[in-house]
Amino acid sequence: MQPVVLLVGKLPNVIGAVPRQLDHLPIQWLGAHDHGEVIRQLDTEPRICCVIMGASMGDDMRGDLIGLIATRRPDLCIHLKDRASGPDGMVGFVEQIVENLVLRGKIPA
């Protein structure tokens, strides 16, 4: 069974292009753009092993989502992408998290 990773982001690139570019990895990708989608994904998929959040959302939104995720699923690691690398840095950031933590078993799947 493949690990499940929840990608959260405001830009379509986070939800669409990242999984397409990383389709060589044995991961099931889920996506969410807002509070409602995050709640739905957390409530319907118990196998989510971590959350990776893009940097395009405002600080208030990111903070709210972190609180929401931590409250509903305190078992999950939440990884926040830096803003300095821009949108083009998302694929590399996600790939590093997945390869170095998820697939090596450092985050239980």
Give 13-40 pLDDT, tens digit per residue.
777 889 999 999 999 999 999 999 999 9
pLDDT for res 17: 87
- Superfamily of domain 4-102 in the CATH hierarchy: Response regulator (3.40.50.2300)
- pLDDT tens-digit map of 42-59: 999 999 999 999 998 999
What is residue 109's predicted lDDT score, i.e. its pLDDT? 61
Give the mean pLDDT of 96-109: 83
What is the enclosing helix (H) or strand (E) of 31?
strand 28-32
75 has pLDDT over 90: yes
pTM of the model: 0.93
Domain limits of the chain? 4-102
* Reported confidence tier of residue 60, pLDDT bands at 50, 70, 90: very high
